[in-house]
Amino acid sequence: MNRRKIIAVLAITAGAALLATTATALSRGDDPAPAASGAAVVRSDVQRTISAAQDRLKRVPGDAATWAQLGSAYVEQARITGDPTYYAKAQGALDTSLQHKPESNGPAHLGLGALANARHDFAAARDQAELARDALPDTAEVYGVLADALTQLGEADEARAAVQRMLDLEPGVPAFTRAAYDFEQRGDVDAARQALTRALDASPSPADSLFCRYHLGELAFDNGDLDEAAAQYEQGLQIDPLDPALLQGRAKIAAARGDLADALTIYADLVTRVPSPQYLHENAVLLGVAGRTEDAARQFDLLAQQERLLAAAGSTDELATSIVAADRGDPTTALAAAEREWNRRQHPLVADALAWALHLAGRDAEAIGHADRAAATGWRNATFAFHRGMILRALGRTAEAADALGSALKTNPHFSPVDAPAARSALDGLR
pLDDT of residue 80: 82
- CB count within 10 Å of CB 263 equals 25
Query: If DSSP states are collapsed to H, E and C, what string results for the chain?
Result: CHHHHHHHHHHHHHHHHHHHHHHHHHCCCCCCCCCCCCCCHHHHHHHHHHHHHHHHHHHCCCCHHHHHHHHHHHHHHHHHHCCCHHHHHHHHHHHHHHHHCCCCCHHHHHHHHHHHHHCCCHHHHHHHHHHHHHHCCCCHHHHHHHHHHHHHCCCHHHHHHHHHHHHHHCCCHHHHHHHHHHHHHCCCHHHHHHHHHHHHHCCCCHHHHHHHHHHHHHHHHHCCCHHHHHHHHHHHHHHCCCCHHHHHHHHHHHHHCCCHHHHHHHHHHHHHHCCCHHHHHHHHHHHHHCCCHHHHHHHHHHHHHHHHHHHHCCCCCHHHHHHHHHHCCCHHHHHHHHHHHHHHCCCHHHHHHHHHHHHHCCCHHHHHHHHHHHHCCCCCCHHHHHHHHHHHHHCCCHHHHHHHHHHHHHHCCCCCCCHHHHHHHHHHHHC
pLDDT value of position 24: 33
Phi-psi region of 104 (alpha: psi -120 to 50; beta: other; left: phi over 0): left
323-380 pLDDT, tens digit per residue, is: 999 999 999 999 999 999 999 999 999 999 999 999 999 999 999 999 999 999 999 9
How many Cβ atoms from other residues are within 10 Å of residue 22's Cβ? 28
The pLDDT of residue 11 is 40
pLDDT digits (tens, 9 = 90+) for 138-189: 999 999 999 999 999 999 999 999 999 999 999 999 999 999 999 999 999 9
pLDDT range class, residue 36, cuts 50, 70, 90: very low
Residue 331 sits at the vertex; the CA angle it makes with 330 and 335, to the nearest 5 degrees, is: 125
CB 327 within 8 A of CB 304: no
Q: How many CB atoms lie within 10 A of CB 252?
A: 27
Q: In terms of Cα–Cα distance, which of 132, 95, 118 is closest to 11?
A: 118
